[in-house]
Structure 1
Amino acid sequence: MTDSILKGFEVWSHAQGVKSRGRVKSIDNISLEGIIRLRELIKELALQGRLIPQDLDEESGSELLKRIDTVLTSKYGIAFSIKLSRDNSTLNPLSFRYTIPDNWTWCELQDIAMFINGKAHEQFITEEPNYILINSRFVSTNGSVKKYTTERLTPLFKGDIAIVMSDVPEGIALVRCCIVEEDNKYTLNQRIGGILTCDELSSDFLALVLDRNRYYLQYDDGKKQTNLKKIHLLSCPIPLPPLAEQKRIVAKVNELMVLCDQLEVEHTNNLKTHQILVKTLLETLTQAKDADELQAAWQRLSIYFDTLFCTEDSIDQLKQTVLQLAIMGRLVKQDPNDEPASELVRMIEKEKGKLIKEGKLKKQSPLPKIRDDEKLFELPINWEWVRLGEFGIVFSGASFNSNDFNQQGGTKVIKITNAGVGKLVETDDYLPTNFLSDFEQYVVNENDLILALTRPYIAAGLKISKCPPSYNKSLLNQRVASIRLLEGNNYVFLYLQSSFVLNLFIERFGNSGLQPNLKIADVTNLVLPIPPLKEQQRIMSKVDQLFALCDQLKERIIKSQEIQGLLSETIFESAVALRKKLE
């Protein structure tokens, strides 16, 4: 069985997912799904008695159970002898049993252990390292995050097991376990259970059984917080092997988990090395001084295209490079016959002046002259640097009364929660219909650009999107900005999605860690590189073409990873079937 697992390591390492669904799939957010499933299956095989061979000369699990009962009855008396009755909220442990080896036996946790409840220690929290408080954070981080307390209200001793009894829906801390490593050092917090057993049972084996046990996880309905009761914990079905076999199982599981750790580190390091390599080589494109140097850099890179662009992250980097080249005027050729961007800027200025005369637009104060240090790169011929407030109409939303909102109908409203990365997040938020005429200055039109002013960027990028047709003639709420372009809408949207703008805003807040809040002046003063209108159209056509190819490449990579995942499952199914056949 072990040989079968080892042979499948390479296949398992290629199956990937994400740690957090709300985040972009970057290197730091990659979850090596194959290795996670590998760990789960190693544990599953171990607890089915299929990971190591049995020794029929050893004391059976049923005899061991009697011995444990004698020891615990002698130690705890009636407190252990009287078993709890199950109420209607308790799942039947019999339905969670499966086939185990002949010299194993089934029991429940209350047959082999005592239980104690943790207590609140808030008033005794201290900075001094007196006693370690075992809470859900401590358990779920394998002890790396600690709190200290001056009192031990619920002391645990070496070999005792702490188990998390409460967590949010589908929380990853629920029924995580840890084993106490030494005496006189730990105390249990509230909603953490303590499992007390004896030397006749391996604490390591019992923790292996209890940690994220499927019986317990069935109490999590995915809708409300899970709060396990004492009877829920003590009713867990336990497959009990001979004591010597318990220790051999733990040793073999630890051996394989170490190999999983090594594989995970190696694969993650390879991914990070690959990411740095791709980033470095792509920078040779964006740093090229002219078309000839760019062409030469691309020819060098294209030789290794299949090797470089084989992950989702590398495809995302490639798309960002395409975007940067487009914004810098290096993706398509310039045509000296194009009307220069300066004429486009003058035309927009004239159109805005007309709107001001008609009373449709307020006259704005002159924006500051663009400084040389604000110009991010050298512009091609016929391009112009302008401020966003000169090129478009920028306004922020109104502070509507919270009592005026509803989710039934009326005029749609764009709130900060609607501001997404690249795409508006649609919700059922409305204001009264008459507000549309009462608040004309806050009306958003289809294709207006929507930018979050509070927390304007996340790991996935800048929260900039286009107003879709379904939100045409909607109202803009506070802490959101609308950018209306008279010309060049698609090109400016492309620019605002580039790393140039993202990095400018990140630097604006100095990576302070505080929640960033943009002022409307941060938006109007943003500097844009504007090409001639016809060149904008050529740029957008080329970007659309290249992005479509990138998306096709990414889709192939995703399909390949799905196949790797299916293949890894097949390897294990074959290994289990082979062992059954040999038995």
Structure 2
Amino acid sequence: MNAERLLAHYEKIADAPDAIARLRRFILDLAVRGKLVPQDANDEPASELLKRIAKEKARLVKAGEIRKPKAMPALAETPFPIPPNWRWSQLAEIGVLSPRNEASDALEASFVPMPLIAAEYGVANQHEVRLWGEIKKGYTHFAEGDVGLAKITPCFENGKSTVFRNLTGEIGAGTTELHIVRPLFVDQDFILLFLKSPHFIETGIPKMTGTAGQKRVPTEYFAHSPFPLPPLAEQRRIVAKVDELMGLCDRLEAARAGREVVRDRLAAASLARLNAPDPKTFEGDARFALDALPALTTRPDQIKALRQTILNLAVRGKLVPQDAGDEPASALLERIAKEKVRLMKAGAIPAKKEPVRDSAKMTEKLPASWCPIALGQVCNLVTSGSRGWAEFYATSGPSFIRAQNIRFGHLRLSELAFVNPPSNSEGSRTQVAKGDLLIVITGAGVTNPAILDHDPGEAYVSQHVGLVRPSDRRLSGWLLLCLMAGAGGRSELVERAYGAGKPGLNLDNIRSLSIPLPPLAEQHRIVAKVDALMALCDQLEASLTATAATRRRLLDALLAEALAPVDAREMEAAE
């Protein structure tokens, strides 16, 4: 059968996104279409099974055990081909819907709220033991062997349904958000796998009724959807095969999880040795990590840890060698301080006291030519946007940079707002320039930094954005690295933002932030090295994304082929 090709290519698709979950759905789809096990000409055909069910219903009606069922509506169309000895039916035809239980109030019975019903196939429901008198009213009734379907969103979409088993007193009651069918001469587990099949769920979602947050599967869909009915003997073979294949999926999932755990541990160990380097072994550790990580990295999300490690190495002076010929950072800092004094006296920049950093931060030893400083010591301006811009929004004009335009490490300028500020607007204080650093200081994305690496023309920032203007534009690239690297100041920034109450930063939090300052020449070498390594990360991430997409396309193709109609010769070969 076509499904064999899927198994033959399994190794190529095993690491595709949600591959195992899709294989599980695929197995259920094959099962309800008659493609999972071969048919047997000796089986009693489904048409005879339907006759026996009709006779049993008539007997139950005559005995007063059930009400006379309503006439079955004709099936307008059938959704897919089924084998010749199968028949299209409906749950209302092959079972009793919404049965009621009669028992003594003193009987111990099972109570099953929604959280105790699993979405996964093969996971039994749990239950609580209660007296029947406590739960017989106001709840849905069921008994041992009944099949229940969760009808409310999102439980239905997630596949919540179960065969009720091991019930105390053999009866139970529970959540009112259930449709119940009591099968007659039909394997309960075959009904269950139909209710969990992609066909039934995907067809049912558009038919749900109610408000957006409280949609439900109508009784009509549950009762009268086309139900593919195999001979009883084949139902049991299908259920056994599904159980076997789901067990295989469990093993594949466990093996994949084991591989991922090993990879994650090896990658984490490699990165940990770089984030807490041993000077004696660092060079070898770095070489091993950079050589091994591409092989250990199988998911794009794993690249995030690698990027952060690169940033941490950069701000610790571990990414490029120091050069004794560089002007030391202390000399750079002295020149900046003198120039700031001159500008303040001239009224060119605000007169501010030099910020003081927390000496308990950044205690790790830095290279000899570096200095630990407060961010504000190398900035001419640390401010934030003005309030009251809402009335000046426009469809064109100067750009207006808001918090949502700032992502971690970069600006997203495709959704800029525009403003027409009045000539006397205090907002001109926060007009931005090339080389400025921007930091989200309130709301979602707080602490996210970015650099304005081009001339924006006339542009301003909102009150939710901090504007940091370095004393020398040549510092901008390095300062951005510090704001992005946990070891460079970011950890302290995050700690301050989330220290208490609503997340947010004040300007003193930014000015006094502890950062390392290397010689200017070394800053440029480090920024260039980081850019090169981040480009490699981009390539690795793109490669992983492309590989995942290829695996997904292969899986899609194999699933489509496996579900395609099987011609007569293939059927004969399968039999």
TM range (shorter): 0.7 to 0.9
Are 1:275 and 1:313, in contact at CA under 8 Å, matched by a contact in 2? Answer: no
C-alpha distance in 2 between matches for 1:524 and 1:93: 72
1:494 maps onto 2:494 in alignment:
no
Residue 376 of structure 1, CA deviation = 4.4
Q: CA RMSD in A?
A: 4.2
Correspondence for 1:100 among 79, 82, 94: 82
**Alignment map for 1:319-468 (pairs within 5 Å):** 319-354=307-342, 356-357=344-345, 359=347, 361-371=349-359, 373-392=360-379, 393-400=381-388, 404=391, 408=395, 412-426=399-413, 430=417, 432-434=419-421, 437-454=425-442, 463-467=448-452
Residue 528 of structure 1, CA deviation = 0.8
Secondary structure in 2 aligned to 1:439?
Answer: helix
Name whichever of 314-323 and 547-556 sits farther off: 314-323
Residue 494 of structure 1, CA deviation = 1.9
Correspondence for 1:180 among 157, 164, 180: 164
Amino acid at match of 1:297: D
**Alignment map for 1:476-495 (pairs within 5 Å):** 476-487=461-472, 488-495=475-482
C-alpha distance in 2 between matches for 1:6 and 1:551: 33
Alignment-derived partner of residue 163 in structure 1: 149
Correspondence for 1:561 among 534, 548, 572: 548
Are 1:51 and 1:249, in contact at CA under 8 Å, matched by a contact in 2? Answer: yes
Using a 3 Å threshold, how does the CA distance of structure 1 residues 517 and 398 change in structure 2: closer, same or farther? same
CA-to-partner distance for each residue in 1:175-229, whole Å, 9 max, x for gaps? 643343435554224xx341323242233222221224231144589x9665543
1:272 maps onto 2:256 in alignment:
no
C-alpha distance in 2 between matches for 1:139 and 1:309: 33
Alignment-derived partner of residue 42 in structure 1: 27
CA-to-partner distance for each residue in 1:18-48, whole Å, 9 max, x for gaps? xxxxxxxxxxxxxxx2222211221111111
1:246 maps onto 2:246 in alignment:
no
Residue 491 of structure 1, CA deviation = 1.5
C-alpha distance in 2 between matches for 1:430 and 1:352: 33
C-alpha distance in 1 between matches for 2:514 and 2:150: 52
**Alignment map for 1:77-226 (pairs within 5 Å):** 77-78=67-68, 80-83=69-72, 94=77, 97-113=79-95, 131-134=111-114, 153-158=138-143, 159-167=145-153, 173=157, 176-181=160-165, 182=167, 185-189=172-176, 192-211=177-196, 212=198, 213=200, 214-219=202-207
Amino acid at match of 1:133: P
Alignment-derived partner of residue 220 in structure 2: 231
Amino acid at match of 2:14: S
C-alpha distance in 2 between matches for 1:430 and 1:563: 38
Are 2:208 and 2:218, in contact at CA under 8 Å, matched by a contact in 1? Answer: no
Using a 3 Å threshold, how does the CA distance of structure 1 residues 162 and 353 change in structure 2: closer, same or farther? farther
Are 1:161 and 1:207, in contact at CA under 8 Å, matched by a contact in 2? Answer: yes
Residue 447 of structure 1, CA deviation = 4.8
Alignment-derived partner of residue 282 in structure 2: 294
Q: 5+ residue gaps in structure 1?
A: 17-32, 86-91, 118-128
Residue 233 of structure 1, CA deviation = 3.7
Amino acid at match of 2:161: C
C-alpha distance in 2 between matches for 1:68 and 1:385: 84
Amino acid at match of 2:87: T
Using a 3 Å threshold, how does the CA distance of structure 1 residues 111 and 325 change in structure 2: closer, same or farther? same
Are 1:341 and 1:384, in contact at CA under 8 Å, matched by a contact in 2? Answer: yes
Residue 330 of structure 1, CA deviation = 1.8
Secondary structure in 2 aligned to 1:381?
Answer: coil
Are 1:341 and 1:383, in contact at CA under 8 Å, matched by a contact in 2? Answer: yes
Secondary structure in 2 aligned to 1:39?
Answer: helix
C-alpha distance in 1 between matches for 2:317 and 2:139: 68
Are 1:84 and 1:231, in contact at CA under 8 Å, matched by a contact in 2? Answer: no
C-alpha distance in 2 between matches for 1:259 and 1:310: 23
Residue 431 of structure 1, CA deviation = 6.7
Using a 3 Å threshold, how does the CA distance of structure 1 residues 381 and 62 change in structure 2: closer, same or farther? same
Amino acid at match of 1:532: P
TM-score by length of 2: 0.78
Secondary structure in 2 aligned to 1:197?
Answer: strand
Name whichever of 45-54 and 58-67 sits farther off: 58-67
CA-to-partner distance for each residue in 1:304-343, whole Å, 9 max, x for gaps? 5664455545544333332222111122222222222223
Amino acid at match of 1:52: V
Residue 548 of structure 1, CA deviation = 1.8
Overall identity of the aligned pairs, in %: 26
C-alpha distance in 2 between matches for 1:383 and 1:161: 71
Amino acid at match of 2:53: I
Specify the structure having the higher radius of gyration (Cα). 2
Alignment-derived partner of residue 106 in structure 2: none
Using a 3 Å threshold, how does the CA distance of structure 1 residues 49 and 536 change in structure 2: closer, same or farther? same
Alignment-derived partner of residue 102 in structure 2: none
Residue 76 of structure 1, CA deviation = 3.9
CA-to-partner distance for each residue in 1:502-540, whole Å, 9 max, x for gaps? 54455558899x864444433332211111222111111
**Alignment map for 1:47-58 (pairs within 5 Å):** 47-58=32-43
1:535 maps onto 2:519 in alignment:
no
Residue 486 of structure 1, CA deviation = 3.3
C-alpha distance in 2 between matches for 1:522 and 1:130: 58
C-alpha distance in 2 between matches for 1:345 and 1:184: 80
Residue 100 of structure 1, CA deviation = 0.8
Amino acid at match of 2:327: E
Secondary structure in 2 aligned to 1:374?
Answer: coil
Size of the alignment, in residue pairs?
535
Amino acid at match of 2:162: C
C-alpha distance in 2 between matches for 1:34 and 1:440: 54
Using a 3 Å threshold, how does the CA distance of structure 1 residues 511 and 174 change in structure 2: closer, same or farther? farther
Alignment-derived partner of residue 11 in structure 2: 10
Are 2:24 and 2:249, in contact at CA under 8 Å, matched by a contact in 1? Answer: yes
Residue 566 of structure 1, CA deviation = 3.9
Are 1:341 and 1:530, in contact at CA under 8 Å, matched by a contact in 2? Answer: yes
1:68 maps onto 2:53 in alignment:
yes
C-alpha distance in 2 between matches for 1:283 and 1:469: 36
Are 1:115 and 1:193, in contact at CA under 8 Å, matched by a contact in 2? Answer: no
C-alpha distance in 2 between matches for 1:526 and 1:10: 50
